[in-house]
Chain A
């Protein structure tokens, strides 16, 4: 459960996004949409705990983010960013294993349970065969799935993804959204992802969070489809 209250974020006194209250509940797949530059990434980074330059509160699982230690934060929310960093000599299983960091000791060595979590996460995204492959040999779609497996291995109730569908072809976009829906519905996670794909968002998600006129609105996707509000926003 992610809750925003009296929230406002911006740069140098200019408000970029604000909202009185917004709530993202477990078992729900939510798409965050808005025009370029409306602050989708900024909002996601704040909820991921990567930026604290906001007023109001963000609480996840009823605990305000600003009160969490780095380790507690990593056990609370996982984040998949737009960065595509592919270090050399790093195995896919190593990348997913990094997701276990909030649970491992000083050296980061994995316990049997950690190993189990890593292979389950890889299987969940359909990448079990890729465990012994080097991360710098993967395509964009494969890389994105490994990063999602890493977020699953982190074992948090909430997962945030910044434009996970960009650079993917159409079948892969749908496949990725189905994966996210499964995570939300079957594994009861709170999933929030930003995207520019309106059709995809309206069709595949349960809720839409829309940034318009510097305000965050949330509504069920069916309602958004019916009102035609989004279409008018993007002049379609």
Chain B
């Protein structure tokens, strides 16, 4: 038991690193690993290749890495907080919040100076404020879950109305956003994405003890010293920073946040979040890189790939754990 867990971490680390290199290799032009190493370390490498590696592919690969870790870490937090295996980063309505932000800009054409990412981020943050306000008053966590789902459906209805009323070109760019894309993030946007996600991931580490306590339900958690309001606020803020930021820049990416925590629990056979949290982040990064490689090889939208890879994982885990 004690030797197995470090071994899994080392293995996950190596796999993630190899996938990161593989992800940079793959694209419209194939780049051999030796040149990638050259470009990254300032060694021997043609100038054009170096510029492709550093200016374009490295940024995209890092986006995949951060996105996978972010979605998985927020999914794990939601599953434990709501004690619901079907919870994911979007149960609180974060993707709906982001999508109405984008819909207002793209479909209604209001406030387009914010950009799609800015609008999505504001939409997601608005959801956080609403959830935080509700959770300060409502004690029962299941009520918050139901409110989140209802809110999410309500917002989707409004987005549908906007879609129905909008012009064809605007509709198309909105639909393309909902399909997700890791490739639209520039280094300039990375300057916002990376710090936000990093803060979210650090907050996810700060709540490992509250999450462990919440495994036994809220009453037991409080009786063992959990500050429920503070913990909830931390968890909600972390989830919004992680899922909200990723959704803002890459669109709503499904199934990673739902599937990866299950996969990680099954690999490690532990419920201790101190181990589970970093392992989930690493596994999420690795799987997201695999999805990105497939999406680039076959030029398909990332959301379709994550669903096709994520769904079998969920089914496999559900069947095997019965």
Contact = CB atoms under 8 A, between A and B. Distances in A.
Contact of B223 (A79, A106, A107, A109): A79
Contacts of A95: 216
Interface in B129-148: none
Contact of B271 (A73, A79, A90): A90
Nearest to A95: B216
Given A70-B225, A88-B265, A107 B215 contact: no
B44 interface: no
Question: Which of A69, A75, A108, A154: most chain B Cβ within 10 A?
Answer: A108
Interface string B261-277: 00001001111101000
Interface of A is mostly: loop
Nearest to B270: A89
A77 B219 CA distance: 13
B208 interface: yes
Contacts of A49: 222-223
Residue among B220, B226, B228, B268 having the largest count of chain A Cβ atoms under 10 Å: B220
Contacts of B168: none
Contacts of A77: 223
A164 interface: no
A141 interface: no
Interface in A68-104: 69-71, 73-75, 77-79, 81, 83, 85, 87-90, 94-95, 98-99, 101-102, 104
B217 A85 contact: yes
B209 A94 contact: no
Interface in A30-77: 45, 48-50, 69-71, 73-75, 77
A108 B273 CA distance: 10
A102 B210 CA distance: 11
Nearest to A103: B225
B209 A104 contact: yes
A79 B321 contact: no
Give the interface residue-count category, chain B.
20 to 34
Contact of A74 (B206, B215, B224, B274): B224
A88 B271 contact: yes
Contacts of A98: 212-213, 215-216, 220, 224
B83 interface: yes
Contacts of A45: 219
A154 to B, nearest CB: 7
Contact of B220 (A73, A83, A88): A83
B215 A101 contact: no
Contacts of A102: 224-225
B219 A74 contact: no
Nearest to A82: B219
Contact of B274 (A48, A75, A109): A109
A85 B80 CA distance: 13
Interface in B113-154: none
**Interface size classification for chain A:** 20 to 34
B227 interface: yes
A137 to B, nearest CB: 13
B268 to A, nearest CB: 8
Interface string B199-237: 000000010110011011101101111111000000000
B224 A89 contact: no
A101 B224 CA distance: 6
Contacts of B217: 83, 85
Nearest to A72: B225
Nearest to B206: A106
B274 A107 contact: yes
Contacts of B215: 85, 87, 90, 98
A106 B209 contact: yes
A50 B220 CA distance: 9
B223 A48 contact: yes
A109 B83 CA distance: 23
Contacts of A94: 271-272
B225 A83 contact: no
Contact of A70 (B206, B226, B269, B272): B226
A81 B228 CA distance: 18
A108 B276 CA distance: 14
Contacts of B209: 101, 104, 106-108
Given A87-B271, A88-B265, A94-B272, A101 B219 contact: no
Given A83-B217, A98-B216, A108-B208, A78 B271 contact: no
Contacts of A50: 219, 222-223
B211 to A, nearest CB: 10
19 contacts: A50-B223, A69-B227, A70-B225, A70-B228, A71-B227, A79-B220, A81-B220, A81-B223, A83-B219, A85-B215, A85-B217, A87-B215, A88-B265, A89-B269, A94-B272, A101-B209, A101-B213, A101-B226, A109-B274
Interface of A: 45, 48-50, 69-71, 73-75, 77-79, 81, 83, 85, 87-90, 94-95, 98-99, 101-102, 104, 106-109, 154
Closest 7 CB pairs of A and B: A74-B225, A108-B209, A102-B225, A90-B271, A79-B223, A89-B271, A70-B227
